[in-house]
Amino acid sequence: MDIDVERQHAARLALLDPLLPADPPLSGDLIDTVGALGAPAFQEVDSEALDATWGPLRRHTLTVRLAGADLGPLLDRWEEHLAKVVTPGDDDCAAQISWPSRDTSAVLALVRHGFAPLVTTAVRRAGSFGPAPTVPGLIIRHATKADLAACVALDLEVVRYDSQFGALTERPSTESGLRRNMAEMIDREQPCIWLAEVSDRPVGIVTVDLPPHSDWIAGRTSAAPAAYLGLGGVRSDTRGAGIGSALVSHVHRELDAAGIAVTLLHYCVANPRSVPFWSLHGYRPLWTSWNRRPAIRA
């Protein structure tokens, strides 16, 4: 392992974005070129698991350390590796690289190798607020067990809308997986699901993983404690009325009062609603997931 590359990579990113974490040293079977290191990995997801909804079933990833060099040669080396292990044209297989959003040095190399920015991990610091409109008749409250069916329906509507942007895949097991996940969240000791109601009808939802349930993603930022906003959406027939903004602003005030330093979330880069909405409410890109699906075309 080239320790100097690791150090230069860490120093470069620390200057670019103070909210990025200190990356651990790479391990395993590495590939390298001048000024660059990469750790390839593979994960195959059970098609019945809820995780199968959040991406392809077969995921080839490359974790990179770059010391100001051209990323292109390292991607070439990874291409050689993928050619040996990937079935060409497999649409449920993707090559993925998670890249610090403010590090623009690798963008051209990624584009020239056929990668596209697909998902952003965005971050909001405590105290950042967007608009909080007053919506006549709107009630915001925590979900209870009696709301399970309504929560699943709102969740499924968001999944179906986001599936058209290529990051999510609704599968036969998706609805049942969402129901299990939502039931588990409702049962948590600390309330973590907020519903927006108009005329006793649930029209919007936000869910948040609070510590320690957010530990799985907390390492993606240097700030702590971190929460993860996993779901935010309103019914399609109520969009544009300010319900989403009122709901999110309410949730942010509760998170700030609870001492949460930063909140993370994911949105699809191509989603014309998510990008402006979350930016307006204080989120900015921290990581960008660059994807190529299928990993190798037939």
Question: In this structure, are residues 233 and 157 in contact, taking their beta carbons and an 8 Å threshold?
Answer: yes
In sequence order, the 6+-apart residues with CB closer than 8 A to the CB of 228 are 208, 209, 213, 214, 216, 217, 263, 264, 265
Question: Domain check: are 276 and 145 in the same one?
Answer: yes
Phi and psi of 175, rounded to 5°?
-60, -45
User: Rounded distance, CA 59 to CA 49, Å?
Assistant: 15
Question: Domain check: are 68 and 112 in the same one?
Answer: yes
Share of the chain above pLDDT 90, in %: 95
Question: Domain check: are 82 and 143 in the same one?
Answer: no
Question: Domain check: are 133 and 277 in the same one?
Answer: yes
Question: Domain check: are 188 and 86 in the same one?
Answer: no
CA–CA distance from 256 to each of 52, 71, 95, 249, 296 (Å)?
32, 39, 37, 11, 44
CA–CA distance from 171 to each of 29, 48, 65, 207 (Å)?
33, 8, 35, 21
Q: Is the per-residue pLDDT at 3 higher than 80?
A: no
Residue-wise pLDDT for 158-197, tens only, equals 999 999 999 999 999 999 999 999 999 999 999 999 999 9
Question: Token pair of 33, please?
Answer: 């070129």
Question: In this structure, are residues 121 and 278 in contact, taking their beta carbons and an 8 Å threshold?
Answer: no
Among candidate residues 66, 101, 119, the one where a domain is terminated = 119
What is the average pLDDT value for the chain, to the nearest integer? Answer: 96
Q: Is the per-residue pLDDT at 5 higher than 80?
A: yes
Question: Domain check: are 133 and 240 in the same one?
Answer: yes
Lowest mean pLDDT among 141-150, 234-243, 254-263: 234-243
Question: In this structure, are residues 33 and 77 in contact, taking their beta carbons and an 8 Å threshold?
Answer: yes
Question: In this structure, are residues 114 and 292 in contact, taking their beta carbons and an 8 Å threshold?
Answer: yes
Question: Domain check: are 80 and 174 in the same one?
Answer: no
Which range of residues forms the domain containing residue 104?
Answer: 3-119
289 in a structural domain: no
206 in a structural domain: yes
Question: Domain check: are 139 and 112 in the same one?
Answer: no
Question: Domain check: are 136 and 265 in the same one?
Answer: yes
pLDDT the model gives residue 1: 53
Question: Domain check: are 268 and 139 in the same one?
Answer: yes
DSSP-based three-state secondary structure for 200:
coil
When pLDDT is averaged across residues 193-214 and rounded to a whole number, the result is 97
Residue 212 preceded by cis peptide, ω within 30: yes
27 in a structural domain: yes
Question: Domain check: are 84 and 222 in the same one?
Answer: no
Identify the CATH number of the domain in which residue 147 sits: 3.40.630.30
Write down the pTM of the prediction.
0.95
User: Rounded distance, CA 107 to CA 115, Å?
Assistant: 9
Q: Which amino acid is at 224?
A: A
Question: Domain check: are 83 and 188 in the same one?
Answer: no
